[in-house]
Structure 1
Amino acid sequence: MKAAGGIAAALLALFYLYGGGLKLLRNRARLRPMMAWVDSVPMPAVRAIGAIEVLGALGLVLPPLTGLARWLAPAAALGFVLLQLGATSVHLRMGDRRIALNLTLLLAAATSGWLTASSL
């Protein structure tokens, strides 16, 4: 059970490190092909979402690896569940029905949170 939680958290962290890093480093024009929603959100908010994703990714993997503040890993996973609920809402409000990735990330975050919380 512990290994499954670690694998789920690591995969989720890789995804969010990549996506969050792009939001932090790329301009609106370079983000637009991958993330159409960036046109409807101010760039400081896009950057803040990127920072939250990067910090959350670190929160998923560092506490279990170091043994310090291990409660942060399930808290980070819960944060990603909430983030994906918001992202799904934005997609649906914009008329974008392609939410399979959002729902997959939501389920992965919920699974990771449940597995890491159960191993505390």
Structure 2
Amino acid sequence: MNVALWAIAGLLAVVFAVIGGLKLARPKEQLLTSGMEALAPFPAGLIKLIGALEVLAAIGLILPGALHIAPVLVPLAAVGLLIIMVGAVVTHALRREVGPVLRNLLLVALLVVVAWGRFGPYAF
């Protein structure tokens, strides 16, 4: 199970590093035209903040456990991303976007597994 948790955390880290990096690197208008229309009601500063939090949490899913420095940050990073993803699910549900809701629920499920495993029986 430890290997599976590492694999899931690694996959999640890549996903959130890419998505968060896009939010940090691109202006709001470019994000909206590239398929992230659900961000339209949010101010540009909030989008940048979410992107920064996603990138930091992606790092937090891997580095603390790999370096054995404050490994409790791994499940905390997963919980932080869970909070962001619940907001994403609600946002897409209000827009009646089934595909993004399902994708985000998959990410939520994977984050729950990492948080459960690293807080619980497979803590570092």
What is the TM-score of this pair, normalised by structure 2? 0.91
- Give the Cα separation in 2 of the matches to 1:111 and 1:103: 12
Q: Within 5 Å, give how 1:86-97 maps onto structure 2.
A: 86-97=87-98
What is the match of residue 4 of structure 2?
4
The alpha-carbon deviation at position 78 of structure 1 amounts to 1.1
1:59 lines up with 2:60 in the alignment? yes
What is the match of residue 100 of structure 1?
102
The alpha-carbon deviation at position 94 of structure 1 amounts to 2.5
List 4+ stretches of structure 1 deviating above 6 A.
Answer: none
- Give the Cα separation in 2 of the matches to 1:56 and 1:49: 10
- Give the Cα separation in 1 of the matches to 2:85 and 2:117: 19
Larger deviation, residues 94-103 vs 3-12: 94-103
Identity over aligned pairs, percent: 32
Secondary structure of the 1:40 match is coil
- Give the Cα separation in 2 of the matches to 1:81 and 1:39: 21
- Give the Cα separation in 1 of the matches to 2:29 and 2:75: 34
- Per-residue CA shift, 1:52-99, capped at 9, x if unaligned? 000000110011100011110011111111111111111122332331
1:46 lines up with 2:47 in the alignment? yes
Unaligned runs of 5+ in 2: none
Secondary structure of the 1:24 match is helix
- The alignment covers a number of residue pairs equal to 120
1:23 lines up with 2:26 in the alignment? no
What is the TM-score of this pair, normalised by structure 1? 0.94
- Give the Cα separation in 2 of the matches to 1:42 and 1:96: 21
Unaligned runs of 5+ in 1: none
CA contact 1:78–1:109 (8 Å) conserved in 2? yes
